Structure 1
Amino acid sequence: MRAEGLLLRHLTNVYRVLSNTVPPAFKTEAVDEVITYIETLLRITDSSLLDEWETLKDPDYKPNTDEAQLAPKGPTDITRDREAFTRLVRNEVFRFLRMLANKEYQEIDESFPLEQMFPDAKWKYTELGNAMDAYYATHEWIRLDPAARNKINTKITESEDRTTWLIEQTLVDPEELNDFQIIFSLSITGAKENSIVKIVPLELKSIAE
């Protein structure tokens, strides 16, 4: 409990520093994404962890109003702020891409559901590696630089009933052919109910003309 309280307090301090002291000129998209991620994490965390830790140190401790507002008890609808939610989704997509670029196929299999991508495969991480052979036949690596993270490379389409997102992520290559995509689905309903972003890989495909 003490470790959890310390972590929550540290994250709160990091959030405040990034939000209040970083000059606007230095708040890049990447910095904004970090701020949004920490803020959302704090909002969906039970603030009683911090309160219990403070009470251990000081029996007369009273919860700070600002901190209570920053990290209220109970789940929060993380989809309510569409811009912030989109950043969380893109962060999760790039977590997948980072692992893919490092050829951490087994780790991907352990972290993301690959059943829809390879429904009949016993060793799904092996199939993912085989699927990437087509990419590496013409490209040396996957770029993860700021240009690769540009929003133009991520297309999000919302279903008519607004319950699902289809995410088309372009793999940016050194030659800038950008002729491969990974398709994901995301349940908005699931994100609302569980306060978590869970993307489901559907397909790796060539979009070469």
Structure 2
Amino acid sequence: MKPKAVARELYETGFDFRQYIEHHGLKRSEGTVLRYLSEAYKALAQTVPEDHRTEAVRDLEEWLGETVRQVDSSLIDEWEKLRNPEEEPTVSDDSAGLDRPDVTHNARAFRIMVRNEVFRWVQLLSRRRLDDHEALAEVPTVDDTRRTVDDVTAAIAPYWEEHSMLPTDSYARGGAFFVLDDSSGIGTARWPVVQTIADPEGHHEWVIEGQVDVEASREAGRAVVRLGAIRRL
């Protein structure tokens, strides 16, 4: 494994750190994976010239740094202190009582975490596999009801009657198809989120709706997003 390859796969699959470790059975190598991610973050922060730091690069840097910080903040905090010795660390009042930095405090990184989690749902639906539908059925719901594999299959079945594929390329992942309403602030319990499916015909009439559970996210140190409807507009 190489640091950049681990970081790229983590980003592209939409896994958080815990999910990535479980998916690959890397419990015994957890420290190594975390070190790889830390090295990838530092390389990104130090080596990319300013005139090449696009919004996408800045998004990736913020997300990667926050991902590492939520697992072991010392790996990032000490390095950033040496890098910027005159800069005072900022601490959110909302972090009181948490055993890690408040993941919602870095708005840019948290938004990417939410987007990655929601797009992971798209990826699970795209492969039309039973185990992927099972994984989606295990996602907490907006109303706390239990969703079954049959529920997931039935919800997306009409889409497959209309389309031959469900794209998951970079275009489908684009920001134009993702809407997060965080205007009410972190004091609000839930933030609505909508992911539009970029169907190959370009109709864009199918959406996956959800809600970001803000308090649960702060406690877990990752984006906790509850699944709502999978439907045609």
TM-score per shorter chain, which class? Answer: 0.7 to 0.9
2:178 and 2:115 mapped to 1: Cα distance?
Answer: 8
2:71 and 2:123 mapped to 1: Cα distance?
Answer: 26
Paired residue type of 2:203: L
> Structure 2 length normalisation: TM-score?
0.68
Q: Which residue number in structure 1 is paired with residue 31 of structure 2?
A: 5
Q: Which residue number in structure 2 is paired with residue 192 of structure 1?
A: 218
Aligned residue for 2:181, secondary structure, equals strand
1:105 and 1:32 mapped to 2: Cα distance?
Answer: 36
Q: What number of residue pairs does the alignment pair up?
A: 189
1:178 and 1:117 mapped to 2: Cα distance?
Answer: 26
Aligned residue for 1:193, secondary structure, equals helix
Q: Which residue number in structure 2 is paired with residue 78 of structure 1?
A: 103
1:67 and 1:6 mapped to 2: Cα distance?
Answer: 20
Aligned residue for 2:227, secondary structure, equals strand
Shift of 1:78: 0.9
Paired residue type of 2:135: E
> Is residue 2:41 matched to residue 1:15?
yes
Q: Which residue number in structure 1 is paired with residue 62 of structure 2?
A: 36
Q: Which residue number in structure 1 is paired with residue 115 of structure 2?
A: 90
State, as a whole percentage, how many aligned pairs show the same letter: 25
Segments of 5+ residues of structure 2 without an aligned counterpart are 1-26, 84-97
2:82 and 2:162 mapped to 1: Cα distance?
Answer: 51
> Structure 1 length normalisation: TM-score?
0.75
Paired residue type of 1:170: T
Q: Which residue number in structure 1 is paired with residue 124 of structure 2?
A: 99
8 Å contact kept, 1:118–1:127: no
CA gap 1:94/1:26 in 2 versus in 1, 3 angstroms: farther
> Is residue 2:157 matched to residue 1:133?
yes
CA gap 1:118/1:136 in 2 versus in 1, 3 angstroms: farther
Paired residue type of 2:172: A
8 Å contact kept, 2:133–2:153: no
RMSD: 3.2
8 Å contact kept, 2:73–2:100: no
Q: Which residue number in structure 2 is paired with residue 154 of structure 1?
A: 178
Deviations 1:74-126 (A, max 9, x none): 411111121221111101111111111112443343364255589476xx112
8 Å contact kept, 1:75–1:194: no
CA gap 1:15/1:131 in 2 versus in 1, 3 angstroms: same
Shift of 1:5: 3.2
CA gap 1:28/1:93 in 2 versus in 1, 3 angstroms: farther
Q: Which residue number in structure 2 is paired with residue 204 of structure 1?
A: 230
Aligned residue for 1:44, secondary structure, equals helix
Aligned residue for 2:210, secondary structure, equals strand
1:25 and 1:143 mapped to 2: Cα distance?
Answer: 32
CA gap 1:134/1:117 in 2 versus in 1, 3 angstroms: farther
8 Å contact kept, 1:171–1:180: yes
Q: Which residue number in structure 2 is paired with residue 53 of structure 1?
A: none
CA gap 1:67/1:156 in 2 versus in 1, 3 angstroms: closer
2:28 and 2:82 mapped to 1: Cα distance?
Answer: 21
Q: Which residue number in structure 1 is paired with residue 79 of structure 2?
A: 66
CA gap 1:79/1:115 in 2 versus in 1, 3 angstroms: closer
